């Protein structure tokens, strides 16, 4: 079976413009590796030079953040949705 990985708008240019991609189920590490194997340019966006998820990349299995589960060893059941959500910062604080 497979899982669905949702790709945020900011990363779709590295995934052939796709909003969602079907990948074989397994652990979240295996799912993300399958995603990177299919779309190598995503690898540089998701992982740092030490091959660890970048600190601003949040990954959810269903509604659960993998950081509070088993990290990359978190199992992803067949039919589940994996969401990649990059943290976005910025803006200006102005006096009211």
pTM over 0.85: yes
Strand, helix or coil at 77?
coil
In whole angstroms, give the CA distance from residue 88 to residue 94.
19
Domain boundaries, the chain: 2-86
Per the structure block, which two tokens stand in for 80?
A: 């589940």
Note the CATH number of domain 2-86. Answer: 3.10.20.30
- R_g of the chain computed on alpha carbons: 14
DSSP 8-state assignment for residue 19: S
Q: Give the tens place of pLDDT for each residue, 5-46.
A: 999 999 999 999 999 999 999 999 999 999 999 999 999 999
């Amino acid at each position: 079976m497979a899982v669905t990985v949702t790709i945020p708008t900011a990363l779709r240019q590295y995934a052939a413009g796709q909003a969602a991609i079907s990948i074989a189920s397994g652990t979240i590490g295996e799912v993300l590796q399958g995603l990177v194997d299919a779309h190598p340019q995503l690898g540089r966006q998701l992982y740092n030079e030490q091959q660890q998820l970048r600190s601003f990349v949040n990954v959810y299995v269903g509604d659960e953040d993998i950081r509070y589960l088993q990290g990359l060893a978190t199992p992803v059941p067949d039919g589940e949705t994996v969401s990649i959500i990059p943290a976005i910062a910025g803006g200006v604080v102005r006096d009211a």
